[in-house]
């Protein structure tokens, strides 16, 4: 198993950005599918953290220095220090990929990192609490908010018809769910 340099402890400054789709080529590169669908924000990071469960069931977490990164067909292809063969790259297939927030560009106006929405309070247009954002799920047409409500979790499409306002600094999202939701 290839190892990376353990350079920093796990902190809140890490943002999970995607998963290793598979190895790429014979020189130990990995192909990362980003949650956003746009790999451009990852092309300038200096460190990636890979987290996976090994064949023996043990959790593996390693930080790797980025030697090179390029976009290819909607993926980010990385050459990482410590992963030097196709076999060692294959061992990380399916791994979660995280990067340090300070290495990411700030989101554009009206855009958010998913991690910033989790934990926000969801309120209706009258200000009444609906629930809390428990997770985000990607979809083919749009993303989904997973809202933890008193009676369980419900999905709400992340589209303007249902999402009226997102206030990340205020940790609040104003929603207008459909009738009967």
User: How confident is the model over 91-115, as a mean pLDDT?
Assistant: 89
In this model, does residue 102 exceed pLDDT 80? yes
pTM of the model: 0.72
pLDDT tens figures, 1-10: 344 433 333 3
As a whole-number percent, the residues of the chain with pLDDT over 90 amount to: 66
Tell me, letter by letter, the H, E, C secondary structure of the chain.
CCCCCCCCCCCCCEEEEEEEEEEECCCCEEEEEECCCCHHHHCCCCEEEEEEECCCCCEEEEEEEEEEEEEECCEEEEEECCCCCHHHHHCCCCCEEEEEHHHCCCCCCCCCCHHHHCCCEEEECCCCEEEEEEEEECCCCCCEEEEEECCEEEEEECCCCCEEEEECCCCEEEECCCCCC
User: How confident is the model over 96-108, as a mean pLDDT?
Assistant: 91
* pLDDT for the residue 41: 87
Residue 20 to residue 97: CA distance in whole angstroms: 7
* pLDDT for the residue 110: 82
Top mean pLDDT of 24-38, 56-70, 108-122 is at: 56-70
* pLDDT for the residue 12: 57
Domain 114-175 in CATH: superfamily?
PRC-barrel domain (2.30.30.240)
Higher pLDDT, 31 or 143: 31
Please give the class, per CATH, of domain 14-103: mainly beta
Average pLDDT of the chain to the nearest whole number: 89
Domain ranges of the chain: 14-103, 114-175
């Amino acid at each position: 198993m290839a190892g990376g340099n353990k350079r920093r402890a796990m902190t809140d400054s890490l943002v999970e950005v995607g998963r290793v789709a598979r190895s790429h080529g014979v020189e130990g590169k990995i192909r990362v599918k980003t949650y956003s669908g746009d790999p451009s924000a990852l092309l300038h990071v200096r460190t990636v953290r890979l987290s996976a469960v090994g064949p023996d069931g043990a959790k593996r977490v390693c930080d790797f220095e980025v030697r090179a990164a390029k976009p290819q067909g909607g993926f980010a292809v990385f050459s990482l220090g410590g992963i030097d063969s196709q076999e060692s790259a294959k061992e990380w297939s399916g791994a979660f990929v995280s990067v340090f927030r300070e290495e990411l560009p700030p989101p554009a106006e009206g855009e958010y990192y998913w991690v910033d929405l989790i934990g926000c309070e969801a309120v209706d247009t009258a200000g009444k609490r609906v629930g809390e954002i428990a997770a985000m799920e990607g979809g083919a047409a749009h993303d989904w908010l997973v809202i933890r409500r008193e009676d369980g979790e419900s999905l709400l499409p992340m589209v303007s018809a249902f999402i009226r306002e997102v206030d990340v600094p205020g940790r609040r999202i104003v929603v207008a769910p459909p009738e009967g939701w």
